[in-house]
């Protein structure tokens, strides 16, 4: 028999042996199932989408449990910075981004609301530092807005824990979009300062509306600073820059502070989240106020119209 034909059986045996060893090694790796898909054997082979989802859930679990990494703190800081920068520029609307983000990251609504309100006080501080360097506030107007709004905030914050707010959010969303359209359809609105409705009847109507807005601020929070801004422009004749100044100083610091204290006493504030949120609110408030001062009423009006429309849309969608 030729030498080449005698080697063929040996090659077949060798190939069969290698195949058996390979199958046994696959069986060990997959714990008894050579047909197990690779994704089930090793987590590192999970598809990218599932990996990203797992990482997001891990972040949420860490934040909800109070376990922070530096990356988590940076995430909270950036959310707060963006939300409060646009709020300081337009006169409200920090809750458009910050409040839903806190809820998404694992906080129950009352806890997220109280935490957001307390962080928003820093927005008022940051904006106040910048705005009051340009124009001091009139003392009579300050006390009037505080006296009318703060009681409404306390009442609204007391009711929020018992309130099913979905229908109220829908109505508020419609009204907020209406604010945007009203400003768009009135090009000259808020471009110059005029003193309006400073008599007794005008102050009664203006104060009553501020009280109602305060109740909304204490209970629903998203976009109510925008209502104050437009009301000061429309009813009392403020220009946009002056109205935004009063809104950020008084609503940001005092209305939100009163709401945060009330909600904190009745519920809970997530204190471990506050350092990053406060830092973002302070810096965002200062930068937004600086942009508003430098660019003037026209930019503030455009920012107001954009933010009010987005806030209203968010409230309608839920």
Tens of pLDDT along 137-179?
889 999 999 999 999 988 888 876 665 657 767 777 888 888 8
pLDDT confidence band for 1 (50 / 70 / 90)? very low
**pLDDT score recorded for residue 68:** 66
Give Cα separations from 38 to 23, 28, 42, 68 (angstroms).
15, 13, 6, 33
**6, 9, 201 from 3: Cα distances, Å:** 5, 11, 118
pLDDT of residue 267: 79
Residue 128 contacts residue 257 (beta carbons within 8 Å): no
What's the pTM value of the predicted model, to 2 decimals?
0.71
Looking at per-residue pLDDT, the higher value among 137 and 15 belongs to 137
Cβ–Cβ under 8 Å, residues 229 and 252: no
The whole-angstrom separation of Cα 12 and Cα 31 is: 28
Q: What is d(CA 274, CA 280) in angstroms, rounded to the nearest whole number? A: 10
Nearest to 287 by CA among 86, 135, 77, 91: 86
Tell me which of 52-66, 148-162, 243-257 is least confident.
52-66
Nearest alpha-carbon partner for 107 in 74, 76, 82: 76
pLDDT confidence of 44, banded at 50, 70, 90? very low
The pLDDT of residue 229 is: 92
């Amino acid at each position: 028999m030729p030498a080449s034909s005698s080697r063929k059986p040996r090659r077949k045996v060798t190939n069969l042996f290698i195949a058996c060893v390979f199958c046994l090694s696959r069986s060990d790796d997959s714990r008894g199932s050579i047909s197990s898909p690779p994704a089930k054997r090793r987590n590192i082979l999970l598809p990218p989408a599932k990996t990203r989802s797992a990482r997001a859930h891990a972040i949420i679990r860490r934040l909800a449990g109070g376990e922070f990494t530096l990356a988590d703190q940076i995430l909270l800081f950036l959310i707060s910075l963006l939300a409060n920068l646009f709020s300081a520029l337009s006169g409200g609307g920090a809750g458009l981004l910050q409040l839903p983000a806190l809820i998404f990251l694992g906080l129950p609504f009352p806890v997220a609301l109280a935490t957001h309100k307390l962080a928003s006080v820093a927005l008022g501080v940051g904006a106040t530092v910048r705005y009051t360097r340009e124009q001091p506030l009139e003392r009579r107007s300050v006390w009037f807005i505080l006296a009318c709004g703060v009681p409404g905030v306390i009442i609204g914050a007391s009711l929020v824990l018992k309130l099913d707010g979905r229908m109220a959010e829908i109505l508020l969303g419609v009204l907020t979009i209406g604010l945007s359209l009203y400003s768009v359809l009135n090009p000259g609105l808020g471009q110059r300062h005029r003193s309006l409705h400073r008599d007794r009847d005008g102050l009664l109507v203006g104060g009553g509306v501020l009280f109602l807005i305060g109740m909304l601020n204490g209970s629903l929070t998203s976009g109510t600073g925008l209502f104050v801004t437009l009301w000061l422009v429309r009813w009392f004749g403020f220009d946009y820059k002056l109205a935004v100044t009063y809104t950020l100083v008084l609503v940001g610091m005092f209305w939100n502070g009163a709401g945060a204290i009330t909600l904190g006493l009745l519920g809970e504030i997530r204190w471990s989240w506050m350092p990053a949120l406060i830092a973002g609110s302070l810096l965002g408030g200062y930068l937004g106020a600086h942009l508003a001062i430098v660019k003037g009423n026209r930019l503030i009006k455009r920012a107001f119209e954009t933010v009010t429309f987005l806030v209203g849309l968010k409230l309608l969608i839920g």
